Amino acid sequence: MSVPLSQMWTVATYVIRQRLAGRKRYPLVLMLEPLFRCNLACAGCGKIQYPAQILRKNLSVEKCLEAVDECGAPMVSIPGGEPLMYPEIDRLVAELVKRKKYVYLCTNAILLKEKLHLFKPSKYLSFSVHMDGLREEHDEAVCRDGVYDQAVPAIQEALRRGFRVTTNTTLFDGASPLRVREFFDEMMRVGVEGMMMSPGYSYSKAPDQEHFLRRSRTNQLFSDILSNPKRGWRFNQSPLFLRFLMGKHDYECTPWGNPTYNLFGWQRPCYLLQDGYAATFKELMETTPWENYGRKSGNEKCQDCMVHCGFEATAVDHTFSSVRGFIETAVVSVTGKL
Amino acid sequence: MSLQGWVPDIGPYLTVAEVIEHAFDYRGNVTVMRHDGEELVGYLSNRDAAAPEPFVEVIDEEGEGPIRIRYADIVNIRFTGKDPAEGNSWKAWLERKEREKAQHAPSTSA
């Protein structure tokens, strides 16, 4: 596993503090969406289908920082939209780094090379580059030829300048385990710090409705990919989450683990579902009927979901809530065997 | 199936509250018709049916808002804007790829 020690320590102490304080629900990663505009229109994405006046809008940096301070999560992920299209992305990131938040700036890397000069390398900042596979698979997933060949040199340039770079991969039905393994080899060769992956979520607004994974297929696919991991592979996510994807754990969703703040407010209940918006984080946490979400609730929208924004927080909590979970995480981290 | 162009027929089988739910789920602009005859065109970004005074929030065509309107003030909602979630862009992209592949494939005719 490749999460830096300082980041692990920050997360571990944060989780332990929450547990000692008796907090049943606490956020781990704030999903901050300052805009919905994007320079791609990927088949599996349900985030950008809005009328023009919404796509033109940006959250102010001040609003973003209010949300960050109110939420208190130690990590902030900036998806979107394409965050590098946000006019004040440099100021936003600088303010987050100043607050010692671990920032994952999620980008398709089309603009990365030309915008790199806006940022300073920091242990708190990681470019999380959307890469859905090798050239053929990635360009197909993002519905545009040539994007892979833009992203890889941008990643290399960012690494050359001393930035942390990770990849973020969404897998859909029909993915070839062999090709995914080759992709992991290639990303390691390119030199990224670590890789993140997740099955796609069946957004009702996404143009491609045919290729979302069902639960048993998800377990099979990830088992095929990960059951014999190469020693050189590095993953920037909880090993227990990866084991969950392989079917070795039966976790319940933690929708409040990755709360989402965007142009409309605090999104209920999670990053993927839009059941309404709260004006404040406190209101989100206190008035969302959490019992209506997750697999056990019977909510049909949650039945096949195994996405990291719902389950990685569960896996992290498992690590720090039991000796068994801690030992399992430690063993997997040391041996690399999933 | 997209709701684009739908003008709901409010009556015994369809309530305003139900139409609001559809409008909240709709990704295009809608026209909110009020009892006082005023109309507001925009994106219905939020609604809260469980609030003490149920309301919707609309961001108008100029991007101003959210403008809050009480359920009680709404007589109907027309689905007037283009539905940006409608379409088969992924399928269209695949079809274009297939056409390109076919064009570049070597001819098999003698």
Of A50, A56, A207, which has the smallest distance from its Cβ to B90's Cβ? A207
Q: Are A86 and A92 in contact (CB under 8 A)?
A: yes
Q: What pLDDT is attached to residue A44?
A: 72
Q: What pLDDT is attached to residue A283?
A: 96
Is residue A286 predicted with pLDDT exceeding 70? yes
Residue A93, Cβ density class (10 Å: 0-12 exposed, 13-18 middle, ≥19 buried)? buried
pLDDT band at A207 (very low <50, low <70, confident <90, very high): low
Chain A closest CA to B11's CA: distance in Å? 25
Residue A2, Cβ density class (10 Å: 0-12 exposed, 13-18 middle, ≥19 buried)? middle
**Helices A177-190/A215-226 angle, 10° precision:** 50
Residues 6+ apart with CB under 8 A from A335: none
Catalogue all structural domains in chain A, each as residue range(s) with its CATH number.
5-335 (3.20.20.70)
Model-level pTM? Answer: 0.91
E-strand stretches of B51-106: 55-60, 67-70, 74-78
The DSSP secondary structure of A161-202, one letter per residue, reads TT-EEEEEEEE-TT--HHHHHHHHHHHHHHT-SEEEEEE---
Average pLDDT of B68-95?
A: 83
Q: What pLDDT is attached to residue A151?
A: 97
Q: Which amino acid is at A136?
A: E
Chain A closest CA to B25's CA: distance in Å? 8
Q: To which H or E segment does residue A30 belong?
A: strand A29-32
Whole-angstrom CA distances from A125 to A6, A94, A253, B48 are: 13, 9, 27, 37
**Helices A323-335/A308-321 angle, 10° precision:** 110
Is residue B89 predicted with pLDDT exceeding 60? no
**A105's torsion region: left (phi>0), alpha (psi -120 to 50) or beta?**
beta
Is residue B110 predicted with pLDDT exceeding 50? no
* Across A84-88, A166-170, A319-323, least confident range: A319-323
Q: Which amino acid is at B36?
A: D
**A214 in contact with B at a CB cutoff of 8 Å?**
no
Q: Are B56 and B19 in contact (CB under 8 A)?
A: no
Chain B closest CA to A261's CA: distance in Å? 13
Whole-angstrom CA distances from A223 to A122, A146, A199, A244, A320 are: 34, 30, 13, 10, 25
pLDDT band at B7 (very low <50, low <70, confident <90, very high): very high
Residue of chain A minimizing CA distance to B58: A264
Of A41, A51, A144, which has the smallest distance from its Cβ to B43's Cβ? A51
Contact B29 A51 (CB under 8 A): yes
Catalogue all structural domains in chain B, each as residue range(s) with its CATH number.
16-104 (2.30.30.100)
E-strand stretches of chain B: 30-34, 39-48, 55-60, 67-70, 74-78
